[in-house]
Amino acid sequence: MKLWLARGLISRGISSGEAEWAHALWRAVGERLYGRIGETPIWNGGFEQPLLVEKIADRPPPSLGAMGGFESFDRDFDWRIAGETGVVAEIAREEAYEGERALRLEFVKPEGVRFSGVAQLVLLRPATPYELRFAFRADLRGDPRVLVEIVEAPRGVPQEDRVLLRWWMPPEANRTGWVLVRETFRTSPTTSLALLRVRREPAASLADFVSGRIWFDAFAIRPIEAGAERRP
């Protein structure tokens, strides 16, 4: 199958509620390009591989309309990494928690920074306990106000009133080495797709200020074994 066609089918599958089928096709494409891939729901959690969407043509041949009419390829299971006003977001080859690459956010506009440019759709099982793991390192001045969230996203659309997990970076995290974070959450009986995202919310105060850099690495989600939640 042509990669651009696979990407269109994945996007359509997510939009039409066929998330498991779309995810299976996504994994098949990833294995074709990169070989064996991990079992965690998060794709490329260590940022070691190039973004898969960069290997697939953004625009299909003109004949695609006659073959199914995909309007856009706006839903898949890759990272969405984009800078916004006041924030540079990129995968950087430098000191990482694991491997050679990490996600780097640089705050270049200190006041009132609002950011939501890093996200990935993940396929989860309903009514299941999970552990989210990731590492971060900070070299900041000011109040980080950076959070990592998982929200339900049926058909790829985040539901802001259905937050499964919300983790705030501690204010004292400035100028730290790598810190490993482990947080648990439980999906709802209707959860299928969720959106993992990294955001910054400015403070209500006019004194909101942040500058410097934050790195993230080693994202992973794993189901918690039966009984593990009750262990001391």
Q: What is the pLDDT along the chain (232 residues), one digit of tens a residue?
A: 577 788 889 999 999 999 999 999 998 888 888 777 777 899 999 999 888 767 665 445 444 444 455 445 578 999 999 988 889 999 999 889 999 999 999 999 878 888 999 999 999 999 999 999 999 999 998 888 999 999 999 999 999 999 999 999 998 877 778 999 999 999 999 999 999 999 999 888 777 888 999 999 999 999 998 766 544 4
pLDDT number for residue 70: 47
pLDDT number for residue 95: 84
Give the predicted TM-score (pTM) of the model: 0.88
pLDDT number for residue 31: 84
Alpha carbon distance 49, 82 (integer Å): 17
Retrieve residue 157's tokens: 């659309």
pLDDT number for residue 55: 67
Strand order in the sheet with 87-93: 87-93, 101-107, 210-223, 129-142, 179-186
CATH label, 1-58+74-224, candidates 3.40.47.40, 2.40.10.220, 2.40.110.10, 2.60.120.260: 2.60.120.260
Question: Strands, DSSP E only, in the chain?
Answer: 80-81, 87-93, 101-107, 115-123, 129-142, 146-152, 163-168, 179-186, 193-200, 210-223
Retrieve residue 163's tokens: 């937050």
Alpha carbon distance 172, 165 (integer Å): 21
pLDDT number for residue 74: 72
pLDDT number for residue 172: 82
Buried b (16+ CB within 10 A) or exposed e, 44-74: bbbbbbebbbeebeeebeeeeeeeeebeebe
Sign of CA dihedral 82, 86, 92, 98: negative
| In contact, 92 and 102? CB cutoff 8 Å | yes
